[in-house]
Amino acid sequence: MSSDQLSMFEDDSAPAELPGAKFKTFSVSLSRTVAAPAEKIFDRWLIPTFVGSWMFGSHVGNEKVVDLQNEVRPGGSYSYHITRNGKEFLQDGEYIKIDRPKRLSFTWREAAKKNTHKSKINLSLDTQDGKTKLRLSMQIDQTLELYGDEIKQQWSERLKVLAAQVSK
């Protein structure tokens, strides 16, 4: 996607319900330097075909993509239907801020964990010397703290696969 194709998505005036406003959260942060431009990395977060190839699959667990839907705009929603170990589940949320190619904020809820609250994920991308520093910070519903190590490991694996794909 070119910058002008996403320009309509840069409006961040849509109100967002932020985690922490109504429930307690814990934080998980990851960073990775990737040998690819920020635009290429950013687009991999928003285009369903790409999302399905790095965010889900055997590298995260015994997963298969059933369906990916994505309405890319502030206030827009996404839903990812996945099977993991033979059980179907849904991950969904809304986009809070889309500032291509620097920042992306969205809510995240994984129905498989019976989570009724949406956590918040912030992605920032900073390019220097032909490489991009990717920073991912997550404010996760406190009720999921038991899964904190698993969540961090899953996102670490996802970012590893993403980095390999965009560095080609």
The per-residue pLDDT for range 127-140, each reduced to its tens digit, is 999 899 999 999 99
The per-residue pLDDT for range 38-89, each reduced to its tens digit, is 999 999 999 999 999 999 988 877 889 999 999 999 999 999 999 988 888 8
Put simply, whether the predicted model's pTM sits higher than 0.85 gets the answer no
Domains contained in the chain, CATH given: 3-166 (3.30.530.20)
Min mean pLDDT across 6-10, 18-22, 59-63, 102-106 is at 6-10
Place 114 in a pLDDT band, splitting at 50, 70 and 90.
low
Three-class secondary structure assignment of the chain: CCHHHHHHHHCCCCCCCCCCCCCCEEEEEEEEEECCCHHHHHHHHHCHHHHHHHCCCCCCCCEEEEEEEECCCCCCEEEEEEEECCEEEEEEEEEEEEECCCEEEEEEEEHHHCCCCCEEEEEEEEEECCEEEEEEEEEEEHHHHHHHHHHHHHHHHHHHHHHHHHCC
